Amino acid sequence: MTDKIMEKINQLVKSQPVILFMKGTPQAPMCGFSANTVRILKDLLGDNFATFNVLEDQAVREGIKAYGQWPTIPQLYVKGELVGGNDIVTEMYNTGELHELLGLDPPDRSVPEISITDEARKHIESGIAELADQVLYLTIDDQFNTRFSVETPKGYEVVADAAGIPIYMDIGTAKRANGIEIDWVDDIQGSGLVIKNPNEPPPVKDITPKELKQRLEAGEPIRVYDVRSEQQMATGTVPGARRLDKKAVEEIETLPKETPLVFVCNLGNSSQGAAEFFRKKGFTNVHNLKGGMMAWQNMAG
């Protein structure tokens, strides 16, 4: 590593109280380890931390490994000192050491209340009968994607009792799991566990062109985003709509979670995906323009 690269990295490390060297950006992580570390930092600090995308600078990508004598990415630095990579950050987050390092209150380790139907309990008990030293692990990420897995316990988990079945989880999951209901379904799509989570943001709502027009004319503070290309938008869009580009995505992420959002495309399909993305980010007032611009233009015609 040259002195020039060493100095650049040193300036980056010293310039911010908290900086994460990662693959991609917080809005678009390019590896699962970077994504998980970003989720932890957002949970603790919101957007009050810096990042550096090593994929945009090969010299820094290789140099940071030599700088801290740490072979992998991501790498977290706090007050100029290397904390470690994803595994260490995850462990420190769950034990509360990361909270202490960042000057935060200790984590809430409250055990969530979980209900389970008799049918679901029977199937789970059958599945975990031969686990030996492993346990049933529940993960609910910050976008409320939920999964069960079989893991070796690490010792820092929160453990909930669901009708006699111990369910292990990290502290982030514990916050999002209170009040969940675990059921078992048999239908045309197959059989399996179904989890109802009252903490999950409300579903995306359809909004008709007529309703959107009325609400805009009434001066409601609705933000409308068009997911189409610039060329498609040039043929017409909803008055006041902004194109959903990188800058717009960053803007949305700074808004209060209750901000009314409406997403628009040609027919209402691509915009539904964008709306779901932001719903899973925690936005609670998200709409999709029913029928898209075709319906809007037909209404105008």
Half-sphere exposure (Cβ direction) of 259: Cα atoms closer than 13 Å: 19
pLDDT at 232: 95
Helix (H, G, I), strand (E, B) or coil at 266: coil
Counted residue by residue, the chain has a size of: 301
> Are 138 and 173 spatial neighbours (Cβ–Cβ below 8 Å)?
yes
Mean pLDDT across 81-105? 96
pLDDT at 1: 65
H or E element that contains 65: helix 58-67
Instruction: Decide if pLDDT at 292 tops 60.
Output: yes
265 is known as an active-site residue: yes
pLDDT at 99: 97
Q: Which CATH architecture has domain 205-300?
A: 3-Layer(aba) Sandwich (3.40)
- Output DSSP code: residue 54: G
pLDDT at 268: 93
- Options 3.40.30.10, 3.40.50.2000, 3.40.50.150, 3.40.50.620; CATH for 3-101 is 3.40.30.10
Spatial distance between the Cα atoms of 208 and 227, rounded to a whole number of angstroms: 17
CA angle 40, 46, 52 (to 5 degrees): 70
What digits encode the pLDDT tens for the residues 44-73? 998 899 999 999 999 999 999 999 999 999
Mean pLDDT across 158-180? 95
- Cβ neighbours, 10 Å, residue 73: 21
Burial zone of 71 (CB within 10 Å; 0-12 exposed, 13-18 middle, 19+ buried): exposed
Average pLDDT value over all residues in the chain: 93
What digits encode the pLDDT tens for the residues 230-280? 999 999 999 999 999 999 998 998 899 999 999 999 999 999 999 999 998
Extents of the domains making up the chain: 3-101, 115-196, 205-300
What digits encode the pLDDT tens for the residues 11-23? 999 999 999 999 9
Q: Which CATH architecture has domain 115-196?
A: Sandwich (2.60)
Mean pLDDT across 277-290? 93
| Main-chain phi, psi angles of 9, to 5 degrees | -65, -40
Spatial distance between the Cα atoms of 4 and 109, rounded to a whole number of angstroms: 45
Write down the catalytic residue from 265, 275, 289, 293. 265
What digits encode the pLDDT tens for the residues 189-237? 778 889 999 998 899 999 999 999 999 999 999 999 999 999 999 999 9
- State pTM to two decimals: 0.77
Half-sphere exposure (Cβ direction) of 144: Cα atoms closer than 13 Å: 21
Helix (H, G, I), strand (E, B) or coil at 238: coil
Q: Say which residue the tokens 């959107």 belong to.
A: 212
Task: With CA atoms as reference, report the closest residue to 21 among 62, 47, 248.
Answer: 62
